[in-house]
Chain A
């Protein structure tokens, strides 16, 4: 074995000095790395969230009839406020949605007369005829046991037809005064009408027939003739039962009556469920002016005359009553319909509204200037302005249209 050079005494054979800090740092790094790797591999991940699908926000609702501001402005310019019932209140509001005011609380009016010159408004509320005071308070008119099914009037005078029941006959109508006082019986049944500018009243007369298929689960009493006369005076037959059946069918009864403002023309809607319905236009002497047949399966829901500077126009709202729609209340009737305007001067007609806006339509009225028709439905109020061209607009008004008077309720 060889020998190394040098002095073995100075040859350093001691072990190298351990570098503690380096070893510690290396150990720490190795530990961190190993721990991180183990944790990355072992620790469970949270579940992935559902995928994000880029879908644009859905529109809040389907298409609606547009609000045509110019048309709305034109309608609001000359017409008075709309009287609507909404949420159990009677309100008046301008066609453009402004100046909304509660006229009376807890009133569900189905018909209204007025306001008169003194501001008196009379409404038919669930069979009760009530006068609405300036403070919104209501006062019952007529006998306590009288339940009305129809109401017409002019100024402060009223004509109410009775809802048959018990001992009450269908033709036990009443003439009343909005100021109160005693009522006078009149042998007229529902429907009734009062010419807005003349002392002429009209209503249904006998013989009376029980008609099924108009209201659910019960037959309703309907007249088969139309009587006309002066308030308090003798009534005469405008359209007899035989003539009615000849013009409208064998089982025809009277569904609606309307008088022109001067009382010279009357419109009578007649027919029977399941058969074609017609609207007959008659002169005061009973002569027939026109016969307006309604579309198949459609029944009149409203007839009304307008007077626009001497031009009288009849509006007929016909609603689909086929099948299950026959007995459905207007406000829940899921069917179409149309409003036809018939000009008595030119004896021509045109359709003012039709289709989707007539679904569940429950209120109809002419404006006092005779230029516009309002139609209410759960979708809102539709206004149709007919001058030379027919303009249609939705109105920012909700509720059931009761009337469209000239003046606002004070």
Chain B
């Protein structure tokens, strides 16, 4: 047997020596160098222990981390968070109002603003002193009592902004219908000097055609309407027509307008002097609207509502009404231009309708057949068409009712009295209805349980499609002031 080699002097123990030591650790014959034998077990242990601990570490670490990883659930993705200017002030799913369009409104300083329906992108559009003056003027002053038998606004908005965010349709402090421009602060009246207008101007959706009703009283105080005229103008201010009586609505495309039918006025005769709804004696007039006709830009008129139908419709709510007092005060064309919502009042109602007899009725008029279908309601209030073809109306019980074809009437809101709702407007896509008062209440038309409310940011002035309200410098209708005296009946137009 070979003796075990010792390292030579001057040479340290190298790897080869360790190998030898390892080999010598094997069981074997006993001739072992005691020097090499010392610490042999410890060296073995020094090899064995790391192997074992690494293995244990691998297992333990793998199991621990694996369990952690396998048992962990990633954090759920967060949906859109409602924040912005309405955070904390809005009730309901305000995020659903995203992409429903841009709302215009004014404040008491005469400034006009825009913001999206969900409260974003609040921006000042401009300021007009005429808008400030509107807030100081009563909505219906005494001079207007006689005029309220000629025409009544469909709602209580003081001004209306065009989708371009620049043109403003309003009534001047002297009562004249006018169009203003926010960009340069200019305002042009649409009726001659000395004429007043009972309602805001009506306009096509692109502002290319605008119409206004004007009247003059026979005297001071509660004198009756001496003369009523309407003017339809194009974008450049050119007169498309001057019509006897009042213009109530203009089609979105500007192709037609609902106006007084003088023939029905002659048939019915003048409205006598009357105490209208508790007012002092108001002078009678032969200029009030007893029936309607459709003015067509292409030429000609078409009778759409006769005085006989006016009387028949009203008798559904007042069977023994004196027809001498029945007048049309509101008419709005449906989106399909085949139907109209018409409001008829009894000018001879001496008592206040809240405590007395029914003094008004809303009627749905089929323009093709001329049939008027009454919509009985106590104290009919606001009425508005939706772009989808349905309509909404309100009544004295504070209810807003939605009526769509082939569907039963649906209750949209019962809070009109509490919230002072003064304006009802549909979103551009017809999916939402805004009831604007001290609170702005948005109601999803197809599911009235979905409602969003927030405090009114100002006085409502319009609701346009998304992206509207960017000033584009559109020219306002430009009518020379005092451009002639009113012309005689039928002086313009067929």
Residues of A within 8 A of B (CB): 1, 3-4, 8, 11, 13-15, 17-21, 23-40, 42-46, 48-56, 58-66, 290-297, 318, 323, 334-336, 338, 340, 342, 346-359, 388-390, 392
Q: Which of B7, B18, B58, B412 has the most CB of A within 10 A?
A: B58
Contact pattern, B 9-22, Cβ under 8 Å of A = 1, otherwise 0: 11111000110010
- Is there an interface contact between A36 and B76, defined as CB atoms closer than 8 Å? no
Interface CB pairs A-B, < 8 A, 19:
A18-B42, A26-B53, A27-B57, A31-B57, A31-B59, A34-B61, A36-B62, A39-B61, A40-B66, A40-B69, A48-B73, A49-B73, A52-B76, A63-B412, A64-B414, A340-B316, A355-B395, A355-B411, A358-B409
- Is there an interface contact between B59 and A35, defined as CB atoms closer than 8 Å? yes
Q: Give the Cβ gap from B97 to chain A, nearest Cβ, in Å.
A: 13
- Is there an interface contact between A293 and B373, defined as CB atoms closer than 8 Å? no
- Is there an interface contact between A23 and B50, defined as CB atoms closer than 8 Å? yes
Bound CA–CA A8/B448 (angstroms)? 105
Q: How many A-B residue pairs have CB under 8 A?
A: 268
**Other-chain contact of B377, A348, A355, A359 (Cβ < 8 Å):** A355
- Is there an interface contact between B358 and A61, defined as CB atoms closer than 8 Å? no
Q: Give the Cβ gap from B340 to chain A, nearest Cβ, in Å.
A: 15
- Is there an interface contact between A295 and B376, defined as CB atoms closer than 8 Å? yes
- Is there an interface contact between A28 and B54, defined as CB atoms closer than 8 Å? yes
- Is there an interface contact between A356 and B377, defined as CB atoms closer than 8 Å? no
**Other-chain contact of B411, A24, A63, A335 (Cβ < 8 Å):** A63
Whether a CB of chain A sits under 8 angstroms from the CB of B185 is no
- Is there an interface contact between B319 and A349, defined as CB atoms closer than 8 Å? yes
**Other-chain contact of B397, A19, A33, A59, A392 (Cβ < 8 Å):** A392
Residues of A within 8 A of B373 (CB): 295-297
Residues of A within 8 A of B316 (CB): 293-295, 340
Bound CA–CA A210/B315 (angstroms)? 30
Interface size range on B against A: 35 or more
Whether a CB of chain A sits under 8 angstroms from the CB of B63 is yes
Residues of B within 8 A of A38 (CB): 58, 62
Bound CA–CA A24/B57 (angstroms)? 10
Q: Give the Cβ gap from B355 to chain A, nearest Cβ, in Å.
A: 4
- Is there an interface contact between B449 and A347, defined as CB atoms closer than 8 Å? no
**Other-chain contact of B317, A24, A58, A340 (Cβ < 8 Å):** A340
- Known A-B contacts A54-B82, A58-B449; the reply to A350 vs B411 at CB < 8 A is no
Give the top 5 A-B pairs by smallest Cβ distance, nearest first: A31-B57, A35-B61, A18-B46, A53-B79, A51-B77
A18-B45, A31-B61, A46-B74 provided; 6 other pairs, C-beta below 8 A? A17-B39, A40-B65, A45-B69, A336-B408, A336-B409, A354-B375
Whether a CB of chain A sits under 8 angstroms from the CB of B456 is no
CB closest chain-A residue, reference B380: A351
- Is there an interface contact between A54 and B319, defined as CB atoms closer than 8 Å? no
Residues of B within 8 A of A34 (CB): 54, 57-58, 61
Bound CA–CA A347/B321 (angstroms)? 9
- Is there an interface contact between A296 and B374, defined as CB atoms closer than 8 Å? yes
- Is there an interface contact between A27 and B319, defined as CB atoms closer than 8 Å? no
- Is there an interface contact between B312 and A293, defined as CB atoms closer than 8 Å? yes
- Known A-B contacts A35-B57, A350-B358; the reply to A63 vs B73 at CB < 8 A is no
CB closest chain-A residue, reference B412: A63
- Is there an interface contact between B61 and A24, defined as CB atoms closer than 8 Å? no
- Is there an interface contact between A43 and B65, defined as CB atoms closer than 8 Å? yes
- Is there an interface contact between A51 and B76, defined as CB atoms closer than 8 Å? yes
Bound CA–CA A17/B61 (angstroms)? 30
Whether a CB of chain A sits under 8 angstroms from the CB of B31 is no
- Is there an interface contact between A24 and B49, defined as CB atoms closer than 8 Å? yes
- Is there an interface contact between B376 and A340, defined as CB atoms closer than 8 Å? yes
Q: Give the Cβ gap from A183 to chain B, nearest Cβ, in Å.
A: 39
Residues of A within 8 A of B49 (CB): 20-21, 23-24, 27
Residues of A within 8 A of B447 (CB): 62
- Known A-B contacts A8-B9, A15-B39, A46-B73; the reply to A55 vs B46 at CB < 8 A is no
Contact pattern, B 303-327, Cβ under 8 Å of A = 1, otherwise 0: 0000000001001111110000000
Bound CA–CA A340/B377 (angstroms)? 9
**Other-chain contact of A29, B57, B69, B76, B408 (Cβ < 8 Å):** B57
**Other-chain contact of A31, B60, B76, B80 (Cβ < 8 Å):** B60
